[in-house]
A and B are shown apart, each in its own frame.
Chain A
Amino acid sequence: MNEMEPEESKIDRLLRASMAAPAPELPADFERRVMLGVQRNERALEQGRRILLVGYSLTSAFASAVVMRGQGLDWAVTSGLILGPIALVGAAWWVWRANSTSLRRGAPSP
């Protein structure tokens, strides 16, 4: 900045004098507030995903039931064909969750 013209040096001094006030600082709890906002967003997103998944499941189960009944299948077979895969996915999820929890318990603390 030492190649300034005299006119520019004057305005440089003026700006330094005019902006001598201390720069503002962020509040001490800023990071905590950001992380709270992040967690709030995550929860809202998770809730949205669940609502979408439940909505999709109910709609597809209903549509499947209508189609299967239309093909002449009785209620017992229709229910079995709809609830069977759901039970299978539920069981797989339960096993996966149980495994990951026990792995986490066994892991050394950071």
Chain B
Amino acid sequence: MDGDAELVARAQRGDERAFEALVARYSTKVFRLAVSILGQEFVPEAEDVAQEVFLKIHRAITTFRSEAEFGSWVYRITFNEAVNLKARVRYKSPHLNEAALVGAAALGPGPQSQAEAAMRDQVIEDCIQTLPEVYQSALRLYYWMDEGVSDVARMLGVPENTAKSYLHRARRLLSHMLKDKGYDNE
């Protein structure tokens, strides 16, 4: 399997297959990073972001300098694109995720505990929405997408210790917010 540098060099010479291989290699991570920034209600928008990111990369690939890491460049474009879109869709009503609702209804022992869990999840999601973007993204990548700390760090373009500290601070902030809302985190 070719490395990024080899694929990028070929894509810079106009090899579409090499670019397609790069899309295949990075599409899931790019999409996950976009979802982690936009939130779970904006999955279709995250898909659009992922597509737009690859179109931008294709247009700009000849300007990419091989001494930089290709993945970092891709993630930085994704982060900026998703944050810009988030600023635009902030006041748009989110999509109702029917599949998630059906799934939630099928789980759990009783209607009351289901309702409580749904309410708790909503409160947590509302609290997460108020955190800084990098904290939101780190939390969703780590807890929802099951990415390891090293992957979270790579996708956010920060050292691993910084990613750990994002998670730590985000948990502490959430803990305080939930206490303020009357939840004791149990």
User: Interface residues, chain A, CB within 8 Å of chain B?
Assistant: 1, 7-8, 10-12, 14-19, 21, 23-27, 30-31, 33-35, 37-38, 41
Q: Is the CB of B27 within 8 A of A18?
A: no
Q: Is the CB of A24 within 8 A of B171?
A: no
A12 partner residues in chain B, CB cutoff 8 A: 171
- 15 interchain pairs (CB within 8 A)? A1-B149, A7-B185, A10-B175, A10-B185, A11-B171, A12-B171, A18-B121, A18-B124, A18-B125, A19-B144, A21-B103, A23-B35, A23-B144, A26-B31, A27-B47
The answer to whether the Cβ of B174 comes within 8 Å of any Cβ in the partner chain is yes
Chain B facing A: main interface SS? helix
Interface centre among B51, B100, B139, B185 (most CB of A within 10 A): B185
A18 partner residues in chain B, CB cutoff 8 A: 120-121, 124-125, 143
Q: Is the CB of A15 within 8 A of B124?
A: yes
A16 to B143, CA, bound (A): 6
A7-B175, A7-B185, A34-B51 given; name 12 further pairs at CB < 8 Å. A1-B164, A8-B171, A15-B124, A15-B139, A15-B171, A18-B143, A19-B143, A23-B144, A26-B31, A30-B50, A35-B19, A38-B16
B145 partner residues in chain A, CB cutoff 8 A: 23
Given contacts A11-B174, A12-B171, contact A26 B28 (CB under 8 A): yes
Q: How far is the CB of B169 from chain A (nearest CB, A)?
A: 10
Of B23, B43, B143, which is within 8 A of A15 by CB?
B143
The answer to whether the Cβ of B58 comes within 8 Å of any Cβ in the partner chain is yes
A7 to B145, CA, bound (A): 23
User: Interface residues, chain B, CB within 8 Å of chain A?
Assistant: 16, 19-20, 23-24, 27-28, 31-32, 35, 40, 43, 46-47, 50-51, 54-55, 58-59, 100, 103, 117, 120-121, 124-125, 139-140, 143-146, 149, 164, 168, 171-172, 174-175, 178, 185-186
- Residue of B with least CB distance to A30: B27
Q: How far is the CB of B129 from chain A (nearest CB, A)?
A: 13
Chain A facing B: main interface SS? helix
Could you count the A-B residue pairs with CB atoms below 8 Å apart for me: how many are there? 90
A15 partner residues in chain B, CB cutoff 8 A: 124, 139, 143, 171, 174
Interface centre among B43, B117, B144 (most CB of A within 10 A): B144
B144 partner residues in chain A, CB cutoff 8 A: 19, 21, 23
